[in-house]
Amino acid sequence: MSMVRDLNTGFLEQEQFYTDNRPAPDFHLQDCEYNERDLHSIMGERGVVIGFIKNTWTPESIRRILFMQKYFRRFKAEGYNVCLVVADQPHTLHSFYLSSEVKVDVPLLADAGERAHQAFDMDRPGLVVVGRDHSIRAKWFVRPGHVWMRPKKIVDKLSQL
């Protein structure tokens, strides 16, 4: 674990980062157009960064989606695709895509029963990096009220994997 400064309070907080090399569970989730996606279909050249969030319409979740939209090209430059697994129904994701003022290119995958959340042990918002070999390479958990970690920190960690 590393210490990072909370920009809102100025206090130091713990950022939880884990390394893991166990096999990543496969999943079959629908996107906003009801197309089924699995782990293999979202893989990038080096792997995939999967963000796990709860329901779409909370302010924190909206900020997390827009953050990924803003920075996903940096992750792609490291060879990693990006997607967000959301504990919602596909029609809810569809309404988000339609109503968003910002075009969202990051795939949102519906996990209404939270089976993928449970399979990856993601009981709270966070990121999981899955390597091309389908092993879990890294995992971060996010504190409540925060969006994600700093993009540079994520990109730096991706370049080390």
Q: What are the tens digits of pLDDT across the range 55-94? A: 888 888 999 999 999 888 888 998 999 999 999 999 999 9
Mean pLDDT of 132-151: 83
Judged against a pLDDT cut of 70, whether residue 3 lies above it is answered with no
In the structure, what pLDDT confidence band is assigned to residue 7 with cuts at 50, 70 and 90?
A: very low
Domain parsing of the chain, residue ranges: 18-160
Higher pLDDT, 17 or 105: 105
**Is 45 exposed, middle or buried (CB count within 10 Å of its CB: 0-12, 13-18, 19+)?**
exposed
- CA separation for the pair 112, 10 (Å, rounded): 36
Judged against a pLDDT cut of 50, whether residue 35 lies above it is answered with yes
In the structure, what pLDDT confidence band is assigned to residue 14 with cuts at 50, 70 and 90?
A: very low
Higher pLDDT, 45 or 9: 45
Q: What are the tens digits of pLDDT across the range 91-109? A: 999 999 999 888 899 999 9
CATH fit for domain 18-160, picks 3.40.50.1820, 3.40.30.10, 3.40.50.720, 3.40.50.970? 3.40.30.10
Model pTM score: 0.85
Q: What are the tens digits of pLDDT across the range 108-139? A: 999 999 999 999 999 889 999 999 999 998 88
Position 22 scores a pLDDT of 87
| Cβ-Cβ contacts under 8 Å for 26 (sequence gap 6 or more) | 38, 39, 40, 134
HEC readout, 64-78: HHHHHHHHHHHHHHC
Give the tokens for residue 139.
Answer: 């995992």
What residues are paired with 128 via a beta bridge?
A: 50, 139
